[in-house]
Copies of this chain bind each other. A is one copy, B any other.
């Protein structure tokens, strides 16, 4: 069962959650797992189809708007709905909420890349039928969402009718009561009239503000020639009805092609119809074959094998699968906080990408990882403009949340104030370079981004008593906003500045021409570089002598401690029950902050400090953010607190499957999904990427019999297999590579396993 997710639940809450869990996507297109035939009246459903980055701009309202507050916000749009297909048995319409459900199974097949619903149903009038709904969003033909419905009459059916719809006039979901869900601007798409051409139905629409267009061409097939057919178009809605005799099993196929103007330019509708032509008679099975091949390749590299816990095995695959389904693979797109699985956070890209999701791709699918970096690079001009809008004189400030570069955060203390986004992006660039050794990237995109972010650090911080200090920013912990010298921010800035200096020195020596060009393009002076180096060197990293911990910020330790023990369970997450000012006033953390910094940049502090800090912050952290458990799991592993490591890990790997945060309906917690992978690879296997090499300090959780996975490093694919007390490293692809195991360097040659003892 670890290759499938199954559910047979039909209650309202699970249905909503399952819409996210069973969503299908390919990084371009995402379709929520809604029921083709609909629900019972009054049931809530978030029916959604999305194209990554396809958005409109909506106004942000403020009771009091100050300078530099963004006027508008980008918002991922729900687009035309092709999911709907109803099945009629004579005069009765099939519904899982009427009649008698004799059997119902729902599966997400992660090895092959499709989902299905298998139903054995008895109608209110006693007719009996087996129905199977299959669907697939193609990784190979990213425009294609294909559905197959088979109806197998068992008893008393005289006629079977299939009623299929294409609805062009759709809205986004709104919930005025939840700050994490949009509360307005539902209707942002002007739908054109649907029409029929070349055997397809075509629906087109345009966004209100951004004037982007999108279209869907939908083509239906039946496997029986002998049927009646009727079609009807009303405004933005097309309806088709196929009627068959009720004597034998029928198979109905609906093939939907989606295109948007960001990728396909003008004449979308023509192109979408043309593609239908090229796809000829390809049906579900044809796409499935390619899909399975694609996934086979993916899993061959990316799979993680756990012996000993099927639930976790399933959870891990589920998370990797959904990361693959959601990550943008073209230059226009990144990976949203909810992926393509829902509308939570408006389809925005956050630091989640760089710190929580990028590592998985970096170590398994580097071309996808590189695309994420290039996408950020494409936002650089917006980031320069944003820095100016705030009042800075130079440099770039990446937006806290965005799609195409505009800051879309409406609450700056936990938005724009998180300047660490700049350091996070620089960090991911540095990681990529260390793993790939991509010199061309180093000289170009990386140099430019690290120079511009370094310039901003000089704007934000200042020298004071021999220290470089950064005031009035917010670190990752959103329960402590607008502080001075947040350890996380400062150490990430230090890393950023150090590497900008390194790049400068390297280019000066190796490629002075490129350096001159870059300096000219940026209108940068040599003195600036000296300042970067000095700021990096003198960066203030708060440390408390008494507790022997890095302080989260200048004053964190002077605040009162929130009493987590006496806080009632129903008061969590705290942000939904207390005014932010009250939270800011206490030592209470929404998520890993200093502990995260210690994971990302362990070399800027020492092991003792890391340990004391972990113990200290663990006691004041609520993990109200889904970005927290995985970091605590990784660091518990590092510190040999294996029980804790495993416990935190368990919570990450099934967070969405078990709906632990209660809001999976709005979309999956993608960062946590990346965090699950990290919990294994950085946590149990102790991977760290350093400038010189990759390092492992692996151990096998005692609950497991074995653990096996691959990582890519410098054109090599390295396999690790952990069993009790030992690890075997095998170079699967590549000529030869040197890696570190527990601080000692080892050489791997192709196909020759190297066995090492693991830490206790």
Contact = CB atoms under 8 A, between A and B. Distances in A.
A264 B389 CA distance: 51
Contact of A66 (B392, B473, B580): B580
A229 interface: no
Contacts of A63: 60-62, 73, 409-411
A509 interface: no
A579 B66 CA distance: 7
Interface centre among A60, A484, A576, A580 (most CB of B within 10 A): A580
Contacts of A558: 464, 469, 471, 484, 554
A460 interface: yes
Given A63-B73, A68-B578, A68-B580, 18 more contacts: A61-B61, A61-B63, A62-B62, A62-B63, A64-B410, A66-B575, A67-B575, A389-B579, A391-B577, A391-B579, A469-B558, A472-B581, A473-B581, A481-B482, A484-B558, A554-B554, A554-B555, A554-B558
Contacts of A61: 61-63
Nearest to A415: B64
A127 to B, nearest CB: 50
A554 B582 CA distance: 18
Contacts of A183: 65
Contact of A410 (B62, B464, B555, B559): B62
A579 B387 CA distance: 10
A584 interface: yes
Interface string A174-185: 000001000100
B410 A67 contact: no
A530 to B, nearest CB: 19
Interface string A692-720: 00000000000000000000000000000
Contacts of A559: 462, 464, 471-472, 484
A417 interface: yes
A486 to B, nearest CB: 12
Nearest to A465: B558
A568 interface: no
B391 A471 contact: no
A585 interface: yes
A412 interface: yes
Interface string A459-485: 010101000010111000000011010
A413 interface: yes
A69 B63 CA distance: 10
Given A60-B63, A560-B464, A582-B391, A484 B555 contact: yes
Nearest to A578: B391
A416 interface: yes
Contacts of A409: 63-64
Contacts of A390: 578-579, 581-582
Interface centre among A409, A460, A472, A584 (most CB of B within 10 A): A472
Nearest to A180: B64
A185 to B, nearest CB: 11
Number of copies of this kind of chain in the complex? 2
Nearest to A63: B410
Contact of A584 (B65, B69, B464, B472): B472
Interface in A411-425: 411-413, 415-417
A582 B65 CA distance: 15
A318 B61 CA distance: 38
Nearest to A64: B411
A290 B416 CA distance: 59
Sorting the interface of chain A by its residue count into under 10, 10 to 19, 20 to 34 or 35 or more gives 35 or more
Interface centre among A412, A415, A484, A585 (most CB of B within 10 A): A585
A560 B463 CA distance: 8
Contacts of A65: 179, 183
A582 B179 contact: no
22 contacts: A60-B63, A61-B63, A63-B73, A64-B179, A64-B409, A64-B411, A67-B576, A67-B577, A68-B578, A391-B579, A391-B582, A412-B579, A413-B413, A464-B558, A471-B558, A471-B559, A471-B584, A472-B559, A472-B581, A481-B482, A482-B584, A484-B555
A409 B581 CA distance: 14
Contacts of A581: 68, 390, 412, 416-417, 472-473, 482
Interface centre among A63, A65, A73, A585 (most CB of B within 10 A): A63
Interface in A482-536: 482, 484
B460 A585 contact: yes
Contacts of A576: 67
A64 B559 CA distance: 26
Contacts of A389: 579
A202 to B, nearest CB: 36
Contacts of A582: 68, 390-392
A580 B64 contact: no
Contacts of A482: 413, 481-482, 581, 584
Contacts of A469: 558
B471 A67 contact: no
A471 B585 contact: yes
Nearest to A66: B580
Interface in A525-557: 554-555
Nearest to A70: B63
A55 B440 CA distance: 65
A58 to B, nearest CB: 10
Contacts of A584: 471-472, 482
Interface in A379-432: 389-392, 409-413, 415-417
Interface centre among A462, A469, A560, A579 (most CB of B within 10 A): A579
A60 B65 CA distance: 12
Contacts of A66: 179, 411, 575, 579-580
A735 B575 CA distance: 61
A522 to B, nearest CB: 22
A579 B411 contact: no
Nearest to A410: B63
Contacts of A179: 64-66
A183 B71 CA distance: 14
Interface in A58-106: 60-69, 73
Interface centre among A65, A66, A183, A460 (most CB of B within 10 A): A66
